[in-house]
Amino acid sequence: MSKVLMKGNEAMALAAIKGGADAFFGYPITPQNELPEYLSHHMPANDRVFVQAESEVAAINMVYGAGGAGARVLTSSSSPGIALKQEGISYLAGSEIPCVIINVMRGGPGLGGIQPSQSDYNQITRGGGNGDYKVLSFAPENLQEAVDLIKESFPLADHYRNPVMVAVDGLLGQMMEPITLEETEKTQAAGKKEWAADGGYGERGYRNRIASLYLDPYKLEEHNLKLKGKYDEMREKEQRYEMIETEDADIVFVAYGTMARVARNAVQMLREEGVKVGMIRPISLFPFPKKAFEALPERTHSLITLEMSLGQMHQDVQIINNGRYKLDFFGRTGGVVPEPEEIVEHVRAALKEDA
């Protein structure tokens, strides 16, 4: 298939269809509405299920039901809607039900605004639900990457039997970019899910039971350790990142999503001034790409975290830093997307202070 020009939300919806989503359950919220709108036409046209639920809470519980029955399930929302879904996400993780969640972030807290933001980092990586659980999460920088990650998320969710979240900010949801969706590419088939509550006894001779309830504390502890084993496997296998001009970098930006797009320009502008700047672009948020920092050259002395929030990912940078680098932060929030010049100005001011 040749290139097509698509709006982020449409492209992500189409990617979910190509990725083999059997069912979508969701509730409208700006700035992700084109996603369910697109699916409302195209899921039925492809003999798949589309349901607009009566609320986010209902939608995530429908995801639980359909996912538990063995279907490949998708839901999507934006920040306050994801907050509403957190209880269900904890139940999905606890019951080991795979699903894919697309989060098109907007400004918060509370109802916040409808302009782009990255202030969901904490609720993506730390969860808003209860318990020792993690959500495998990715934050693409452009639409092609978003499409590819969504297609990959369905088999990953099945593999880990865990929710996978793909998080973009509203700008990526609303912007247009050319993408390719290889028609010939066969997504890894879901295969028979032996654990699914499929309504029958199967060859096992008994009905599967899906629940997150363990009244015996020793059994619950054992269950938690089993879950931890999966999160450790994610930490080992799923750390994803891009190193941008870090080979000779004295200063390294840490930025993801739209902020990384802005920062790419700042890297070039500063390099033209002779400041050797590079960037680590986390693609996986959980697991946080620790390996990227281990690959920095000896000469790197400072890390500057850049976010469209007041410093949420920065906490993860602080955790892995362990006193090694001088740390700094620059962020805009509330729906403001900074211009590259603001980052350049921030670096110039920091350099002046150091001199």
If one asks whether residue 315 binds other proteins (CB under 8 A), the answer comes out as no
Q: Measured from the CB of residue 291, what is the shortest distance to other proteins in angstroms?
A: 28
Residue of the chain from 6, 69, 164, 317 that contacts other proteins (CB under 8 A): 6
Instruction: Tell me the window of 1-9, 58-66, 92-100, 288-296 that interacts with other proteins (CB under 8 A).
Output: 1-9
For other proteins, the closer of residues 76 and 90 by Cβ is 76
Residue of the chain from 174, 208, 309, 312 that contacts other proteins (CB under 8 A): 174
Bridge partners, 23 (sequence order): 49, 73
Site for other proteins, residues 26 to 85, rule: CB under 8 A: 30-31
- Residue by residue, DSSP assigns 11-63 as HHHHHHHHTT--EEEE---TTSTHHHHHHHHHHHHTT-EEEE-SSHHHHHHHH
Q: Which residues contact 128 (CB under 8 A, 6 or more apart)?
A: 82, 83, 86, 87, 89
If one asks whether residue 262 binds other proteins (CB under 8 A), the answer comes out as yes
CA atoms within 13 A on the CB side of 53: 21
If one asks whether residue 336 binds other proteins (CB under 8 A), the answer comes out as no
For other proteins, the closer of residues 10 and 56 by Cβ is 10
Residue of the chain from 40, 212, 239, 265 that contacts other proteins (CB under 8 A): 265
Tokens of 51: 């349901």
For other proteins, the closer of residues 96 and 307 by Cβ is 307
CB 55 within 8 A of CB 84: yes
d(CA 221, CA 354): 50
Kindly state the helix (H) or strand (E) to which residue 4 belongs, with its residue range: strand 4-7
Instruction: Tell me the window of 69-77, 80-88, 113-121, 310-318 that interacts with other proteins (CB under 8 A).
Output: 113-121
d(CA 16, CA 10): 10
Instruction: Tell me the window of 176-184, 188-196, 204-212, 347-355 that interacts with other proteins (CB under 8 A).
Output: 176-184
Q: Which residues contact 232 (CB under 8 A, 6 or more apart)?
A: none
Q: Measured from the CB of residue 163, what is the shortest distance to other proteins in angstroms?
A: 26
Q: Measured from the CB of residue 194, what is the shortest distance to other proteins in angstroms?
A: 38
For other proteins, the closer of residues 158 and 307 by Cβ is 307
- Residue by residue, DSSP assigns 90-137 as HHHHHTT--EEEEEEEB--STT--SSB--TTHHHHHT-SSSSS---EE
Q: Measured from the CB of residue 346, what is the shortest distance to other proteins in angstroms?
A: 17
Residue of the chain from 114, 190, 220, 336 that contacts other proteins (CB under 8 A): 114
Q: Measured from the CB of residue 337, what is the shortest distance to other proteins in angstroms?
A: 8
d(CA 188, CA 57): 30
For other proteins, the closer of residues 262 and 306 by Cβ is 262
Residue of the chain from 26, 88, 140, 170 that contacts other proteins (CB under 8 A): 170
Q: Which residues contact 337 (CB under 8 A, 6 or more apart)?
A: 115, 116, 171, 258, 262, 308
Which positions touch other proteins (CB under 8 A)?
3-7, 10, 14, 30-31, 113-116, 170-171, 174-178, 258, 261-262, 265, 335, 337, 340
